[in-house]
């Protein structure tokens, strides 16, 4: 990772041809001395073709801003970068203004991801990643990433993935991830968001809608550091929407572990409904998971399944789950939930989920809805 030590930074706006030429000839765009005082220039590159997008991503350096004009882009290979930004000179990949940009993997070879970042301090925002033969977007061992207002849809494995050791201080905000399905695995792998096979503190998911995926809404399998999940919805996962005669999708809303790790994830103010298995589950994570003010409604199995962990559940609401409101083990602490003695179950203002599928606000926040709201200030998800 490069550290910026100079006192001043100039901003340069380059054409794509100039930016790529400079990057190719000098290993990046830099100002200042090469020894001890190198500083990344801030350069804005505007792209409007797939070839330009591929070149811009491949040649990005600290301070690069890639703005993608409206349209559908179909790369022939994974969009991939190992470049690092810095906390003061991030690498940014984003739509131009409010334009609608779709990055489409329909021309990729079988098994290839659509996009992969292996560097630190990236901002990726206001883009759709769709129709990949494998994962839609993957960040590996990244530090300080901001992934905001993204859509990952109809990919051949998980829509959005964080993975690898050293995955630290990443923010996933206002993600819509839906319709992801792995045909080769008969649906058993494709989650809305997967934070798996890694470690690193300070990672947060907020404002996500994770729905109609073949496996789980969110999956934290073998991620050994605490992840914070808040203000997110998982629904309709694990259903065979692809007419797969050997379908194996699980269908948990929030799968909070697995694979032999014990970790205390933090899960606050989320909702899970209409999933084909549990709304919220430890999935054999024996750690002290914290769950506060979550709602599980009309899931096929239990609303909250925590049979082996030392989890702490408080002020959660479970209604009309076919496998029971809760399945808790002796090590779980449960207080002020609606299945606990003396706690009244408030009525929902609406059980019509139509508005939950609606358009997000211009800022990217979840749509306004009365679905599963109760007006209570003490129990259940706020649905915002």
Asked, for residue 291, whether it belongs to a domain, the answer is yes
Residues 234, 193, 288, 222, Cα dihedral to 10°: 140
Is pLDDT at 189 greater than 70 in this prediction? yes
pLDDT of residue 29: 31
Question: Which CATH number covers residue 314?
Answer: 2.160.20.10
- Partners of residue 343 on adjacent β-strands: none
Confidence of residue 372 (pLDDT cuts 50, 70, 90): very high
Is pLDDT at 8 greater than 50 in this prediction? no
Q: By residue range, what is the domain housing residue 172?
A: 135-357
Asked, for residue 325, whether it belongs to a domain, the answer is yes
Is pLDDT at 9 greater than 70 in this prediction? no
pLDDT of residue 204: 99
Mean pLDDT (whole number) for 203-219:
99
Mean pLDDT (whole number) for 85-104:
98
- Could you please report the per-residue DSSP string of 148-201? ES-EEES-SS-SEEEEETT-BS-EEES-EEE----TTTTTSS--SEEEEEE--S
Is pLDDT at 181 greater than 80 in this prediction? yes
Asked, for residue 76, whether it belongs to a domain, the answer is no
Asked, for residue 326, whether it belongs to a domain, the answer is yes
3-state secondary structure of 2: coil
Asked, for residue 185, whether it belongs to a domain, the answer is yes
Is pLDDT at 11 greater than 90 in this prediction? no
Rg (CA), the chain: 22
Into how many domains does the chain fold? 1
Between 8-17, 106-115, 237-246, 354-363, the lowest mean confidence (pLDDT) is in 8-17
Asked, for residue 86, whether it belongs to a domain, the answer is no
**Contact, 47 vs 66, CB < 8 A?**
yes
Inter-residue long-range contacts of 310-313, CB under 8 Å, 24+ positions, other chains counted: 310/286, 311/282, 311/287, 312/288, 313/337
Asked, for residue 349, whether it belongs to a domain, the answer is yes
Q: Which are the catalytic amino acids?
A: 255
Is pLDDT at 6 greater than 80 in this prediction? no
Confidence of residue 28 (pLDDT cuts 50, 70, 90): very low
Tokens at 380, concatenated: 């259940």
Is pLDDT at 24 greater than 80 in this prediction? no
Cα 159 from chain centroid (whole Å)? 8
- Tens of pLDDT, residue by residue over 292-345, are 999 999 999 999 999 999 999 999 999 999 999 999 999 999 999 999 999 999
CA–CA gap between residue 363 and residue 171 (Å, rounded)? 16
CA–CA gap between residue 35 and residue 285 (Å, rounded)? 48
pLDDT of residue 34: 28
* pLDDT, mean over the chain: 91
For 26-36, b where at least 16 C-beta lie within 10 A, e where not — what string?
Answer: eebbbbbeeee
Residues 128, 145, 362, 48, Cα dihedral to 10°: -40
pLDDT of residue 44: 97
- Partners of residue 280 on adjacent β-strands: 254, 304
If DSSP states are collapsed to H, E and C, what string results for 344-368? CCCCCCECCCHHHHCCCCCCCCCCC
Mark residue 364 as left, alpha or beta (left: phi above 0; alpha: psi -120 to 50; beta: remaining): left
pLDDT of residue 4: 36
Asked, for residue 376, whether it belongs to a domain, the answer is no
Mean pLDDT (whole number) for 254-265:
97
Q: Is 330 exposed, middle or buried (0-12, 13-18, 19+ CB in 10 A)?
A: exposed
Mean pLDDT (whole number) for 344-368:
97
- 13 DSSP assignment: E
Confidence of residue 41 (pLDDT cuts 50, 70, 90): low
pLDDT of residue 3: 36
């Amino acid at each position: 990772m490069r550290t910026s030590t100079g006192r001043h930074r100039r901003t340069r706006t380059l054409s794509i041809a100039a930016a790529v030429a400079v990057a190719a000839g000098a290993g990046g765009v830099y100002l200042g001395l090469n020894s001890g005082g190198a500083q990344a220039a801030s350069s804005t590159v505007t792209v409007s073709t797939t070839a330009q997008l591929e070149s811009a991503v491949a040649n990005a350096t600290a301070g690069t801003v890639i703005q993608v004009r409206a349209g559908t882009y179909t790369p022939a290979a994974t969009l991939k970068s190992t470049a690092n930004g810095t906390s003061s000179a991030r690498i940014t990949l984003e739509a131009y203004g409010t334009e609608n940009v779709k990055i489409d993997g329909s021309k990729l070879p079988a098994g290839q991801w659509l996009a992969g970042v292996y560097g630190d301090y990236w901002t990726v925002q206001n883009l759709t990643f769709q129709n990949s033969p494998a994962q839609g977007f993957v960040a590996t061992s990244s530090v300080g990433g901001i992934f905001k207002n993204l859509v990952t849809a109809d990919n051949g494995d998980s829509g959005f993935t964080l993975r690898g050791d050293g995955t630290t201080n990443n923010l996933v905000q206002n993600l819509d991830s839906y319709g992801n399905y792995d045909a080769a695995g008969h649906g058993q792998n494709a989650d809305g968001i997967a934070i798996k096979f890694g470690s690193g503190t300070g990672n947060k998911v907020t404002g996500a809608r994770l729905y109609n995926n073949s496996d789980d809404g969110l999956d934290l399998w073998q991620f050994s550091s605490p992840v914070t999940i808040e203000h997110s919805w998982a629904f309709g996962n694990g259903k065979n929407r692809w007419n797969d005669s050997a379908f194996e999708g699980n269908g948990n809303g929030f799968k909070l572990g697995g694979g032999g790790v014990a970790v205390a994830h933090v899960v606050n103010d989320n909702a899970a409904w209409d999933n084909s298995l549990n709304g919220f589950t430890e999935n054999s994570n024996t750690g002290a998971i914290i769950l506060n003010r979550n709602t599980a409604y009309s899931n096929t199995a239990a609303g909250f399944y925590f049979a082996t962990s030392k989890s702490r559940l408080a002020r959660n609401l479970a209604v009309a789950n076919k496998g029971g409101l809760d399945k808790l083990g002796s090590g779980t602490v449960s207080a002020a939930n609606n299945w606990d003695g003396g706690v009244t179950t408030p009525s929902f203002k609406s059980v019509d989920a139509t508005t939950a599928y609606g358009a997000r606000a211009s800022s990217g926040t979840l749509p306004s809805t009365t679905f599963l709201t109760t007006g209570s200030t003490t129990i259940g998800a706020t649905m915002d």
